[in-house]
Amino acid sequence: MIDRRTLFGVTAAVGSFVGALFGSNSASAKSAPMSAFKGDYEPRGTNERLERVPTLDLESYDDMLTGLRIWSSKANRPSRARFDRLLEEGGLDPKKDHDLEKIFPLVENDSLLGSTARMRTSGQQLMWAALQKHYHENADVYLDELEAADNMGPGKLELNPDMHIPEYTKHEIHIQPGGYVGDAFAGHIYHYGTNNFYRAANYQDEIHRNMARQMATPQDGKVLRILDQGCSSGQLTSALKERFPDAEVWGIDVGGPMIRYAHMRDTDLGAGANFRQALAEDCKFPDNFFDIVTSYIMHHEVTAEKTKEIIAESFRVLRPGGVYFPIDFETGVGRGRQRDNYGKFGGWRDHRWNEEVWRPDYSSVDFNGEMQNVGFEVNDEGPPAWRSRYNVLGTKPA
Check which CATH number belongs to the domain holding 368 and give it. 3.40.50.150
pLDDT band at 72 (very low <50, low <70, confident <90, very high): confident
Number of domains comprising the chain: 1
Q: What is the pLDDT of residue 76?
A: 83
Whether 151 maps to a domain, the answer reads no
Is the pLDDT assigned to residue 32 strictly greater than 70?
Answer: no
Q: Is residue 318 part of a domain?
A: yes
Of 29-38, 202-211, 357-366, give the range with the top mean pLDDT.
202-211
Task: State residue 84's pLDDT score.
Answer: 97
State the pLDDT at residue 371. 94
Between 12-21, 247-256, 328-337, 386-395, the lowest mean confidence (pLDDT) is in 12-21
Inside any domain, residue 18? no
pLDDT-derived band at 132, boundaries 50, 70, 90: very high
Q: Mean per-residue pLDDT for 131-148?
A: 96
Phi, psi dihedral angles at 340 (to 5 degrees)? -75, 180
What is the predicted pLDDT for the residue at 27? 39
Check whether the bond before 154 is cis (ω within 30° of 0): yes
Q: What percent of the chain has pLDDT over 90?
A: 74
**Per-residue pLDDT at 383:** 66
Between 80 and 34, the higher pLDDT residue: 80
Give residue-wise pLDDT tens across range 266-319: 999 999 999 999 999 999 999 999 999 999 999 999 999 999 999 999 999 999
Cα(159)–Cα(251) distance, integer angstroms: 12
Q: Is residue 92 part of a domain?
A: no
384 pLDDT band, cuts 50/70/90, is: low
**pLDDT one-digit tens code per residue, 207-266:** 999 999 999 999 999 999 999 999 999 999 999 999 999 999 999 999 999 999 999 999
Say how many Å lie between the first and final Cα of the chain, rounded.
48
Give residue 331's pLDDT. 64
Task: Please check whether residue 153 is in contact with residue 267, taking contact to mean a CB–CB distance below 8 angstroms.
Answer: yes
pLDDT one-digit tens code per residue, 341-383? 998 899 899 999 999 999 888 888 888 899 999 999 998 766 6
Q: Does 296 map to a domain?
A: yes
Residue 304 lies in a domain: yes
Residue 75: its pLDDT value, please? 82
In a domain, 350, yes or no: yes
Among 56-70, 272-286, 324-338, 347-361, the least confident range: 324-338
pLDDT band at residue 181 under the 50/70/90 scheme: very high
Band of pLDDT at residue 14, cut at 50, 70 and 90: very low
Sequence-distant (6+) residues with CB within 8 A of 172 are 13, 178, 179, 182, 355
For β-strands 225-229 and 157-158, DSSP reports them as unpaired
29 — phi, psi (to 5°)?
Answer: -85, 130
What is the extent of the structural domain holding 254? 203-395
Tell me if 131 is assigned to some domain. Answer: no
Q: Residue 379 contacts by C-beta under 8 Å, 6 or more apart in sequence?
A: 392, 393, 394, 395
Q: Would you state the torsion angle of the CA atoms of residues 222, 223, 228, 233, taken in this order, to the nearest 10 degrees? A: 160
Q: Is the pLDDT of residue 13 over 80?
A: no
pLDDT surpasses 60 at 34: no
Q: Look up residue 222 and give its amino acid.
A: K
Per the prediction, the chain carries an average pLDDT of 87
